[in-house]
């Protein structure tokens, strides 16, 4: 007879084997290579110092969208056709502090793909027609997004979270209209033609292929000092954006905090998980599983080079807006006032260790983990320490952290609906 009343015995994770990628010593900026890939897939990521805080509002976004828009020798369609002929996929991801160009393909095609990519990016001519087409696309997209409560809330949140800084700029249609071709050319020259500051290569490659890729990328290497904002401050208080006829209200609550360079980061990660970063979290249990206010609610810690922030996000039925904000506040205050029960903490410990094991599974995940700490001047020992801290954390320490960092009076609270 099967005894279903007892939980099967659990085995804890005590350590994880982290494998660091190789670092190319000859290359002038960090160039990571992970060759232990048991299949034919490969990926190269190029990090450019071309993030959205640079230049006029919307400029970085337009330039990133025009990188493959054509050269003297190939127009946009020819470039994309050739990328597709080689079976390549690409992604251009614009952040506040950088742009990441990712190129995916089978490993016997990646070097050819990179040649095409580099040629297209370095010789892009920025034709007026391509610029105009992208501006119109972006404006339409913006008009559509402005009808989403989640977008409106995020916009208002950004303004107040990154108050009075380039990080908190939000775009309007006029911003696109005002950007000139010359500004685009100048931005491209400054931040792409000499803006490459990191490369991550994953795939089963021979040395000569890697060297050929290094040769292709050398001309793009960054020659400007990398500067990042250290002093972001949020404006505490409540802000509302009205949207007629909305069925749901989007809510954002958060504040500027810090990144993993700060000692408290791992412990605050544990606190954040308990509050809102897994399915069984307090916010999910309360707002979704107990009250049915929402399809989902979550909290997260997001990091910049020199700072970071804490964020809670949800969409709730509009009739539940005030009750939902009150419950979010109550959950935060509960962390301030009451010790976390040992059983709950134990669950979250195991959960986090399991998730860390998963996020180190396979060459891609493992490399991303490594690159994720290297950016902050840390090494793989960060994760050994992470495991140690997860084992050592106490309810008393977590309450102290909640009192220090999760004070409702310090929060920026935004609603849109």
Partner 1 sequence: MIEFERFELDNGLKVIFHKDSTTPMAVVNILYDVGARDESEEKTGFAHLFEHLMFGGSINIPDFDAPLQRAGGESNAFTSNDITNYYDVLPAQNLDTALWLESDRMLSLAFTDKSLEVQQQVVIEEFKQRYLNQPYGDVWLELRPLAYKKHPYKWATIGKDIKHIQDAKMEDVKAFFQKYYHPGNAILCVAGNFEFSFIKERVEYWFGSIPGKLKPARILPSEPIQKEFRKLTLERNVPANAFYYAFKMASRKTMEYYVADLISDAMGREKSSRLYIRLKKELNLVSEIGAYITGSLDDGLLMISGKLNDGVSFEQVDVEIWKIIDEFVSREMSVPELERLNIKIRTAREFQDQGLLNRAMNLCHFELLGDAGGINEDLMVYQSITPKHMSTLGKSIFKKKNCSVLRIKSTK
Query: Least distance from C-beta 107 to partner 1, angstroms?
Result: 10
Q: Which of 35, 56, 80, 334 binds partner 1 (CB under 8 A)?
A: 80
* Closer residue to partner 1, CB minimum distance, 202 or 398: 202
* Closer residue to partner 1, CB minimum distance, 219 or 280: 280
Q: Interface with partner 1 includes 8 (CB under 8 A)? A: yes
Touching partner 1, residues 132-151 (CB under 8 A)? 133, 136-137, 140-141, 143-144, 146-149
Query: Least distance from C-beta 383 to partner 1, angstroms?
Result: 14
Q: Interface with partner 1 includes 294 (CB under 8 A)? A: yes
Query: Least distance from C-beta 181 to partner 1, angstroms?
Result: 18
Q: Interface with partner 1 includes 367 (CB under 8 A)? A: no
Among the residue ranges 189-197, 261-269, 293-301, 384-392, the one whose residues contact partner 1 (CB under 8 A): 293-301
* Closer residue to partner 1, CB minimum distance, 196 or 393: 393
Touching partner 1, residues 99-128 (CB under 8 A)? 104-106
Query: Least distance from C-beta 164 to partner 1, angstroms?
Result: 31
Determine whether 46 is exposed, middle or buried from the number of CB atoms within 10 Å of its CB (0-12, 13-18, 19+).
Answer: buried
Q: Interface with partner 1 includes 245 (CB under 8 A)? A: yes
Interface with partner 1: number of residues (CB under 8 A): 71
Tell the residue number behind the tokens 């069925």, with chain if given: 247
Q: Interface with partner 1 includes 279 (CB under 8 A)? A: yes
Query: Least distance from C-beta 127 to partner 1, angstroms?
Result: 12
Q: Which of 224, 56, 194 is nearest to 121 (CA)?
A: 194
* Closer residue to partner 1, CB minimum distance, 85 or 172: 85
CB 225 within 8 A of CB 127: no
Touching partner 1, residues 60-79 (CB under 8 A)? 76-77
Tell me the C-alpha distance between 311 and 157, whole Å.
Answer: 10
CA distances from 224 to 54, 58, 93, 227, 312 (A): 13, 21, 21, 9, 35
Q: Interface with partner 1 includes 341 (CB under 8 A)? A: no
* Closer residue to partner 1, CB minimum distance, 224 or 357: 357
Sheet order of strands, 412-416 included:
237-241, 412-416, 248-256, 308-317, 294-303
* Closer residue to partner 1, CB minimum distance, 59 or 113: 113
Listing DSSP states for 330-346 in one string gives HHHHHHHHSPPPHHHHH
Q: Which of 29, 74, 115, 246 binds partner 1 (CB under 8 A)?
A: 246
Tell me the C-alpha distance between 117 and 89, whole Å.
Answer: 11
Query: Least distance from C-beta 34 to partner 1, angstroms?
Result: 13
Q: Which of 19, 23, 39, 392 binds partner 1 (CB under 8 A)?
A: 39
* Closer residue to partner 1, CB minimum distance, 358 or 391: 358
**Tokens (6 digits) for 351:** 């959960």
Q: Interface with partner 1 includes 357 (CB under 8 A)? A: yes
CB 113 within 8 A of CB 83: yes
What is the distance, to the nearest Å, from the Cα of residue 342 to the centroid of all Cα atoms in its chain? 32
Q: Which of 19, 23, 40, 224 binds partner 1 (CB under 8 A)?
A: 40
Query: Least distance from C-beta 317 to partner 1, angstroms?
Result: 6
Q: Which positions ≥6 away from 320 have C-beta within 8 Å?
A: 249, 291, 293, 294
Eight-state DSSP code of residue 26: S
Among the residue ranges 26-34, 226-234, 252-260, 312-320, the one whose residues contact partner 1 (CB under 8 A): 312-320
Q: At what angle do helices 342-359 and 265-276 cross, to 10 degrees?
A: 110
Tell me the C-alpha distance between 352 and 349, whole Å.
Answer: 5
Q: Which of 122, 259, 350, 410 binds partner 1 (CB under 8 A)?
A: 350
Determine whether 68 is exposed, middle or buried from the number of CB atoms within 10 Å of its CB (0-12, 13-18, 19+).
Answer: buried
Tell me the C-alpha distance between 219 and 215, whole Å.
Answer: 8
């Amino acid at each position: 007879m099967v005894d279903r009343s007892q939980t099967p015995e659990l085995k804890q994770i005590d350590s994880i084997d982290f494998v660091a990628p190789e670092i190319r010593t000859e290359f002038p900026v960090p160039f990571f290579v992970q060759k232990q890939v048991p299949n034919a897939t490969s990926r190269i990521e190029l990090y450019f110092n071309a993030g959205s805080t640079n230049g006029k509002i919307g400029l970085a976004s337009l330039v990133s969208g025009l990188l493959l828009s054509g050269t003297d020798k190939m127009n946009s369609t020819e470039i994309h056709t050739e990328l597709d002929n080689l079976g390549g996929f690409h992604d251009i991801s614009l952040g506040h502090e950088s742009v990441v160009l990712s190129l995916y393909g089978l490993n016997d095609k990646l070097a050819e793909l990179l040649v095409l990519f580099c040629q297209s990016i370095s010789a892009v001519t920025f034709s007026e027609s391509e610029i105009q087409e992208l501006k119109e696309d972006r404006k339409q997209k913006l008009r559509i997004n402005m009808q989403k409560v989640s977008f409106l809330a995020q916009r208002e949140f950004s303004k107040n979270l990154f108050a009075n800084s380039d990080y908190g700029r939000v775009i309007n249609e006029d911003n696109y209209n005002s950007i000139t071709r010359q500004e685009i050319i100048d931005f491209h020259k400054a931040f792409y033609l000499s803006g490459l500051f990191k490369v991550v290569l994953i795939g089963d490659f021979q040395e000569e292929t890697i060297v050929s890729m290094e040769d292709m990328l050398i001309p793009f290497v960054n020659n400007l000092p990398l500067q990042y904002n250290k002093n972001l401050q949020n404006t505490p208080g409540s802000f509302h954006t009205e949207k007629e006829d909305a069925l749901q209200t989007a809510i954002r609550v958060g504040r500027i905090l810090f990144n993993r360079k700060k000692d408290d980061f791992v412990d605050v990660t544990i606190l954040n998980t308990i509050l809102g970063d897994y399915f069984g979290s307090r916010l999910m249990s309360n707002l979704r599983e107990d009250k049915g206010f929402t399809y989902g609610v979550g909290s997260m810690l997001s990091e910049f080079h020199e700072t970071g922030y804490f964020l809670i996000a949800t969409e709730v039925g509009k009739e539940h807006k005030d009750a939902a904000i009150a419950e979010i506040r109550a959950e935060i205050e509960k962390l301030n006032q009451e010790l976390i029960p040992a059983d709950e903490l134990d669950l979250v410990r195991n959960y986090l260790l399991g998730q860390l094991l998963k996020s180190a599974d396979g060459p891609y995940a493992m490399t991303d983990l490594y690159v994720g700490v290297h950016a902050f001047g840390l090494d793989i020992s960060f994760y050994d320490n992470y495991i140690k801290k997860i084992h050592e954390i106490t309810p008393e320490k977590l309450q102290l952290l909640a009192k220090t960092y999760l004070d409702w009076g310090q929060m920026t609270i935004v609603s849109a609906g």
